[in-house]
Structure 1
Amino acid sequence: MSRQLHLGAFIMGVGHHAAAWRLPGADPANLTRPGYFTALAQTAERGKFDYLFFADRLALSDRYGNNLDASVRYLAGPRLDPVALLGLLAGATSRIGLAATASTTFNDPFNLARRFATLDHLSEGRIGWNVVTSTNDGEALNFGAEPILEHEARYRRAREFVGLALDLWDSWEDGALLHDAASGQFADPAQVHYLDHQGEHFSVRGPLNLPRSPQGRPVLIQAGSSSTGQDFAAELADVIFTAQPDLGQAQAFYQRVQQRLREQGRAEGALKIMPGVMPFVAARQAEAEARFAELEANVHPLAGLALLSDSMNHDLSQYPLDEPLPEVREVRGNQSRFKLVQALSQREGLTLRQLGQRFGGSRSHRVLAGTPSQVADDLQHWFESRACDGFNIMPPYLPEGLDSFVALVVPELQRRGLFRQQYQGSTLREHLGLARPPSRFSTSG
């Protein structure tokens, strides 16, 4: 079978674009309505997407000016706990994968591993965990810890955390459950393992009080594109999310990740690279471009700067709005996203006001505006140029942005033989073409 494109539906609020809530008919009250989310999940499943994904942040955006004014005034900011939301969606769907962000900085391994394992069982093997380290002082203040840990320290904690989660998920081997009524033996204790872990950040005895799930263990996703993040993904992850607005740089990123995979002794294809794309799709190109221009015109610059300040973990209100972004030597937030924004500002000579308006629209991801054929052409070119293994589709406004992609672009990709007509498997690993991993404790694996 030829190489197949992977598609994820990355759902955020009433749309990824910061001005989506200002469109006629947009209803921010949907952000707490179960029917809104179940309808989106069912639309993505109808489009045969690999997964539906929800990001998370453990605080409202308040780094700009160190107050809530910009975010509460100009952004549709409320969000449900995405891990809890997956439980609702597991019951409303049957095939699509379901993934959510959870922080290794402000959780404990046993509780989070158990929560994701529970969802993986209830969904019959369709769960993914987007591993993040948290980057923001506002989040730290909600957990009695400020300032946030520095970049390398966060990743050291994350490595230990994820290693423990993997061990906990594997602490019951596949053959541990016997259900032997005749002998009275429910499970084989020789196949259920203590961890007895004593590490830098955690002490965990184990085992987990759940057996392995249908896909072995949840799919691991990593969303950092820094050098440290790439190393982390190559070592432990199954999928890497990334912002790559330029084809040449995306190809170079793809090759760097493949080299890191080889250094870890992992095969090419064991880690799926999924850059974000924000598509505006319409029957005519002019119509798609007009909708994009309408949203861009309605982005309040402070909305974008509130988002950017949070991402950088750096208060941008201290700089003049109508002057360029000054040289910022170091930020304690999202390192890779900061580099993209800094390069954009320097390349196009943007003032801070203009940068805020631009970031509020794309959030440093690629924007496509065109007909279904034009959008499919672009996705196909990136995929066949080995710039990625697929895409995180970021609907700029919801639900219409997802509806139009599923109705117009997915059939075009299917006609070209790039994307599945039907689901061939039942688990998220099967959708992604990933093998079911053996237990780390298995002597036969």
Structure 2
Amino acid sequence: MTDGFTGYTGGGVTRAADEETPQSRRGGSWFDEAAFGLFIHWDHASQQGLEVSWPMVDGVNNPRWRQVVGVDEYRSSAATFDPVEWNAPALARAAREAGMRYAVLTTRHHSGYSMFHTAGSTHSVEHSPYGKDIVREFADAMRAEGLRVGFYYSLSDWTHPDYPAMTDDIKPYAVAKLPKPTPEQWERYITYMRLQLTELLTNYGRIDMLWFDGHWERDLDDWYPDELKTLIHSLQPDILVNDRLPGLGDFETPEQFVPDKPLEARWETCMTMNQNWGYVPDDENYKSVREILQTLVNVVSRRGNLLLNVSPTGSGALPASQQQRLEAFAEWMSVHSESVHGVEPGLEPWQFGGPSTRRGDRIYLHMLAWPLEHLAVRGLPVRRIEKVTLLSTGEDLPFTVPFGVAAMKDADPHGEIRIGTPAAAPDTAVPVIAIDLAPLSAEI
């Protein structure tokens, strides 16, 4: 048996090594082992405490935190953008220590403000008081810490005159109400978009991921997806592209939720720490460290990644609540990283009532609730269990096998074990129990 477990089906479908699957359509095997990534939503309007882009159209992106400002008011802070507290190396280090293996920056959101130096527009950080290229600082810092580099790029641009630009008289936002460009305008806009993508995929070294958004405002053919795909892969042959321009997707991107079962393709849940993507100072409705880690292990146990967002302030500093969470993730990862990085899905729900992962002959049980007395795990090769360990302390946990299973005459019987656990839950956000199995011998 190639998986080492006779009769063991944890982790779902077993495939032949040479079988073509959605997960193997392109390169990027790093993505399959990454587990955890950093998303950064940020632009000049963070100085005003505004969600990124949406307040300029009427804030419908998040009705519970609806912010509405005039188009000119939103754009006004571009003239004063000077994030002197932006520290890309420190953020990259914090992300690495938190167990993140890649990072994605909003190089240009729907509002059209470019966080990089571009020949296509003066509505960019190059023409701000800050002046420096934030995308370059980001890419260099992340790469220096060993993180893969990704760029978010919105296909829509609510400031470009040929898109055409958003105006107050067409609010509230509705796709059907948006003004349509003339054919000449659209050709100019597509040329501008290709110029910016060429800049992003040429000027910053190897780019591992391109994260599109904003596609819904035009028909698919309007974006010339085949030509766009040719351009992207001519500049960065090994890049992974998300699914938000249909036909280009190497991975799917459920937003703010976790699918209830593994998806067929590569996938990544993107999620905020609080309620907004951008910096909104009144939004202190943060998910707890425990809740975010529970989301992470649920995602990884279904063969996905979690792309977790942070939102720098207008000065470039990370809000304290977000910094504290990154530090807490680092503490948890210092002991438990092996249970989420480079692993496969573990047991089926009937075997263990929680998320689990597996690396070879070691199974990781992520404890979302602590047992009152003991923990039952089913469908294991009981004679090959060598030890059971609590990762946070290294403590060996006692386990027993019911007599009926232990007495079975099968060479490699499968059945239930009961693990004795300490009465009090360990002092960690998500405890992890590891079960080590002896390899299946050649005689079995």
**What's the TM-score bracket when you normalise by the shorter of the two chains?**
0.3 to 0.5
Larger Rg: 2
* TM norm structure 1: 0.41
* TM norm structure 2: 0.41
Higher relative contact order (CA 8 A, sep 6+): 1
More helix by share: 1
